[in-house]
Structures are given as structure tokens and as C-alpha cells.
Amino acid sequence: MLEVDFHTHSSFSRCGIHSVVEMLVRAKSLGMKGVAITDHGPELKSRVNSTFYERLIDPVPGIRLLKGMECNLIGDTPRIDLPLSWARFMDLVLVGIHFPTPRGLGRDTYTGLMIEMLQSNPWVDIITHPDDIAYPLDFARLAEAAAARGVALELNNSKTALRRTEPAVTRDMLRACVAARCPVAVSSDAHALNEVGADDAVAGFLREEHVPEELVVNRGGPAAFAFVERRRAAKLSAEAEQ
């Protein structure tokens, strides 16, 4: 069980079924320290709104709400659907490849898009489900580019539990992270209450691939919150330089 889960979806996403408060109450009941609500960006027609980012402050005592968004590549371009007016209220910005990015473009194309996206967008903290077999990536190149920017690659419990990736692909991703000293974020990608904080499908991969503990940015509550603050400082610094 994760102490801090960096990737969950509420009913603001079209694929989530529980409210923000319900997700937080569930996490608190499990003894967790924090949960990031990271609903999809507007490209996937989510219902996220400014009130959530600007006005909602830790509605459930005893559990920290981290505000984020799982953004999307826009079509087959490196642009992402991050509303910049809300970005300064976000603790975490995640980016993953989802439909409507076309399938079948090839590993080199998807990898190039993701690296170009990282180079042009300093707000990004985590790349979600890079081992999704629908959008193959060159993990060595991506891990090197992410590590250079302090960005983590995600080990996604949901993708593994639902068999939307393959063990060999996940292992290749983790080996690339170890070789490049790239941060790893373990996340549930919960879409329902019973999935919050879950890491049961992927924890074994960390042990079997000998991923150093210090590479796992949310290995415990203090490390997770330190990652959030470290990334916030880096993003503010990059914004000031622009």
C-alpha cells in the first residue's frame, strides 16, 4: 500500500466514478498520508474546474490533498492540454499518451514527441504509464531525457493489474530507469475507491529489478512530499527564466 498516491481519478474524469471527498476518505481509512487527484485534462472532456484548484483546501482532516492533472498530448503534437491559468495551483502535472493521439505511429515517433514535450514544458513532473503497449516508447532515450529534468517515469499499478501492459515491457522500463538514474513514481491510477493506494501488482517488479530505493520518489510520505516541493521549486525557477 502506498503512503502517498500520485495518480488517481475522481468523477471529474469521465472514467472516474467517485467524488474527490470519497477518494480522500477512503485513503484516510487506509492510513495513507496523501492523495493526488489528477483528473484528465480538457482534451479528454473532463469536468475539472477552477474552483477545485483555486478554492478547495484539504477537505478531509488528516489526509493531504495534492492537486494535479493528467494531461494529454494533443493529437500527434508535443503540445499538452495544461490550462496554464491553473498550473500554479497544481502540486503535480502528469502527462500520458491517450487517444486521440493516433495509434500505430511507431516507437521513434512517440518517443520523439514525448522528449520534445519535456523539452518545451517545464511544468511536467511525471510521465504516466510509459509501458502502455498501445504507444511503445524507447525507454532508454526517454529515461535519459526525464532524468536530466528531474521528471519521474511512472510504474502504474492499474495497467499491470488489468493486463494493459506486458511484464517484459515493464521490466525493460525499470531497467532503463536504473541505468539512467531516472526517478520512478509508483501510482495506483485508481478510478474507483477499491483501487486507491494500490501497488500490489507492481511492487514485485521493484524488488526483482533491484530498483534503488532512492529512485522511488514516493517510497514513503516524507519522500513523496519532498519530491512535490522539489519539483515546485524547479518549475518556479524555470518559469522565472522564461
pLDDT digits (tens, 9 = 90+) for 79-127: 999 999 999 999 999 999 998 899 999 999 999 999 999 999 999 999 9
- Looking only at the bridges linking them, the beta strands covering 126-127 and 92-96 are parallel
What does the pLDDT read at residue 235?
A: 84
What does the pLDDT read at residue 242?
A: 60
C-alpha closest to that of 232 among 127, 116, 88, 94: 88
Mean pLDDT along residues 136-151:
98
pLDDT at 239 over 80: no
Of 13-27, 74-88, 158-172, 185-199, the poorest mean pLDDT is in 74-88
**To the nearest whole percent, how much of the chain has pLDDT over 90?**
94
CATH code, domain with 49 = 3.20.20.140
Mean pLDDT along residues 30-45:
97
pLDDT at 240 over 90: no
pLDDT at 148 over 90: yes
The number of folded domains in the chain is: 1
pLDDT at 76 over 90: no
Q: By the 8 A CB rule, do 57 and 27 touch? A: no
Domain span holding position 14: 4-241
Task: Name, in order, each residue with C-beta under 8 angstroms of 109's C-beta and a sequence gap of 6 or more.
Answer: 76
C-alpha closest to that of 189 among 162, 151, 209: 162
Q: Is 83 helix (H, G, I), strand (E, B) or coil?
A: coil
What does the pLDDT read at residue 236?
A: 80
